[in-house]
């Protein structure tokens, strides 16, 4: 993260004695990235975080590429999906993947997790398309709402409790590298610059420490190398009395992203919200259109020579696409030109603003559909530019 945060009780100096009321030491844990060269946080446990009571049999947890899909402009019609599984982990259905990133949906029937989850393979970015709830982690309590991006660093132990009322729909992006704020919007000490489309005031770290100090049986499912490893503990992993540092989960609402506009059509990098190794994430939000007297608001045709482009359509009217619904994905692969559907360019001329929300993933390695995605493929989409 871009700035320092602290919660709860911590000693005045790192790696020094910090005692509990009974005289025993709190157990210090450093959670660090890039060995000891990246961002890190220091946590103080009531119990020893290494005390495992049982290790269960690992369960397979991976996705297969649909190698026969081929080179096609792709529309995945997921808008009518109500549930994708029972619990949070079984409901995660990755639809696209490469060696850097996976992207998919999650709509579980069960709103509360009775276990904890740790992703030891990568960072996660969860976009809350529908739903409200609370994320509990070692770093505290984080309330999450419709429209939130939740950035969860690798190895964060967490569980969700979502509200029972209303739909629950999550877009999940899993990155094998760190998900970060955009480098060109930061100064040399990491502060977001004046021209950044969001600032530190918009970023919400955990707001309240959540200490679980009772003994019992606590299951942590750990994702590592295509398996879910079952670790049981005699105490909660959320037994933290205090922590400080730069590594922690946080939320940023798409509704707080301030669009950058121009006199003529602006390219997608102005919408960039996050960066990671091998891909970027952009946010399309309501904005004024271009104000040149001859401007064309609809995007121009574009050939990606070294990236694939995914758009997840969240809300509103999508002027350059026909037949796209809320919850649709489009995948426009490098090697093929893509652009507005016939008739949409002329129709856009004179429009003053757009009222759309969409999340874009641009990758620098080719994406493949997973076998899970094949059930949602719109077979007519590749020919939809021909009237």
Say if residue 40 is exposed, middle or buried (CB neighbours under 10 Å; 0-12, 13-18, 19+). Answer: middle
Q: How many residues does the chain have?
A: 387
Q: Is 200 helix (H, G, I), strand (E, B) or coil?
A: helix
Residue 338 marked as a ligand binder: yes
- Cβ 341 vs Cβ 321: under 8 Å: yes
Residue 382 phi/psi, 5° resolution? Answer: -60, -25
Nearest 5°: the CA angle 143, 85, 145 is 15
Cα 130 to Cα 86, 192, 343, distances in angstroms: 17, 28, 32
Instruction: For residue 176, give the H/E element and its range.
Output: none
Integer Cα distance of 278 and 101 in angstroms: 8
Integer Cα distance of 337 and 303 in angstroms: 4
195 is catalytic: no
Residue 302 marked as a ligand binder: yes
Active-site hit among 195, 210, 229, 265: 265
Residue 86 marked as a ligand binder: no
User: Which residues does the annotation place in the binding site?
Assistant: 302, 308, 338
User: Which residues does the annotation place in the binding site for homogentisate?
Assistant: 338
Catalytically annotated residues: 265
């Amino acid at each position: 993260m871009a700035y320092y945060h602290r919660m709860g009780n911590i000693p005045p100096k790192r790696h020094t004695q910090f005692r509990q009321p009974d005289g025993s030491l709190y157990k210090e844990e450093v959670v660090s990235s890039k060995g000891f060269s990246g961002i890190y946080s220091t946590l103080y446990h009531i119990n020893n975080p290494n005390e495992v009571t049982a290790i269960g049999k690992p369960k397979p947890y991976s996705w297969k590429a649909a190698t026969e899909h081929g080179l096609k402009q792709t529309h995945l019609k997921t808008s009518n999906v109500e549930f994708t599984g029972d619990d949070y982990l079984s409901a995660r259905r990755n639809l696209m993947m490469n060696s850097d990133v996976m992207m998919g949906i999650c709509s579980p029937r069960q709103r509360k997790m009775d276990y904890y989850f740790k992703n030891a393979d990568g960072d996660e970015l969860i976009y809350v398309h529908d739903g409200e709830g609370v994320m509990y982690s070692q770093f505290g309590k984080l309330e999450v709402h419709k429209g939130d991006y939740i950035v969860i660093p690798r190895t964060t132990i967490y569980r969700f409790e979502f509200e029972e009322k209303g739909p629950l729909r999550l877009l999940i992006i899993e990155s094998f590298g760190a998900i970060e704020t955009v480098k060109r919007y930061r100064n040399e000490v990491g502060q977001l610059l004046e021209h950044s489309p969001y600032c530190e005031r918009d970023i919400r770290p955990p707001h309240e420490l959540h200490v679980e100090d009772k003994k019992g049986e606590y299951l942590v499912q750990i994702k590592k190398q295509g398996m879910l490893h079952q670790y049981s503990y005699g105490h909660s992993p959320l037994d933290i009395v205090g922590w400080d540092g730069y590594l922690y989960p946080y939320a940023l609402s798409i509704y707080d992203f301030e669009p950058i506009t121009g006199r003529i059509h602006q390219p997608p990098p102005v919408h960039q919200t996050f960066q990671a190794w091998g891909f970027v994430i952009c946010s399309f939000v309501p904005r004024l259109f271009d104000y040149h007297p001859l401007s064309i608001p609809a995007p121009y045709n574009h050939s990606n020579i070294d990236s694939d482009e995914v758009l997840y359509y969240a809300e509103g009217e999508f002027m350059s696409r026909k037949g796209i619904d809320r919850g649709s994905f489009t995948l426009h692969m490098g090697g093929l030109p893509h652009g507005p559907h016939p008739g949409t360019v002329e129709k856009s001329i004179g429009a003053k603003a757009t009222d759309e929300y969409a999340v874009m993933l641009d990758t620098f390695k080719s994406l493949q559909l997973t076998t899970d995605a094949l059930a949602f493929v719109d077979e007519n989409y590749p020919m939809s530019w021909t009237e």
